[in-house]
Amino acid sequence: MSDRPEELSDLVIEVVDSIPAGRVMTFGAIADYLGRGGPRGVAGVMARHGPEVAWWRVVRADGTLPPYLMFDAQPHWLIEGTPIRHGIVDVRRALWQPDE
DNA sequence: CGTGTGACTGGGC
DNA sequence: GGCCCAGCCACAC
């Protein structure tokens, strides 16, 4: 089959947009699911297209986000009922995979 | 086409 | 639990 070098941006955005409320995915998990880009590649997409997606549903492997986003992310996690532990996302419980 | 940088990650101290 | 370092991939200049 023809693997078209579809833009990583569109692929990442599509995955993020498919994450249900109350769940999250790590940068590495998204990269691993797509099999391309790597965590840095996903990060680059979020940095550029973050505002147009549910950016608060994409967190680091330890369930945190950069300080400037942690502040705005809190209410989103609270409203969506995202599993929180010590003020940060409990990735062990909140992590979601498209295969489900 | 080489270099630098980033919303990352895991391992070591 | 924290900080530091090296590896990683895509993109901008």
The C-alpha atoms of residue A41 and residue A57 are separated, in whole angstroms, by: 17
**Would you say residue A3 has pLDDT above 80?**
no
On strand B, nucleotides with any atom < 7 Å from a protein CB are 6-10
Is residue A78 a contact partner of residue A61, using CB atoms and an 8 Å limit?
no
Domain layout of chain A by residue ranges: 5-94
CA A43 → C1' B8, Å?
7
CATH number of A5-94: 1.10.10.10
Global confidence as pTM: 0.90
CA A66 → C1' B6, Å?
12
Q: What is the pLDDT of residues A39-89, one digit of tens each?
A: 999 999 999 898 999 999 999 999 999 988 999 999 999 999 999 998 899
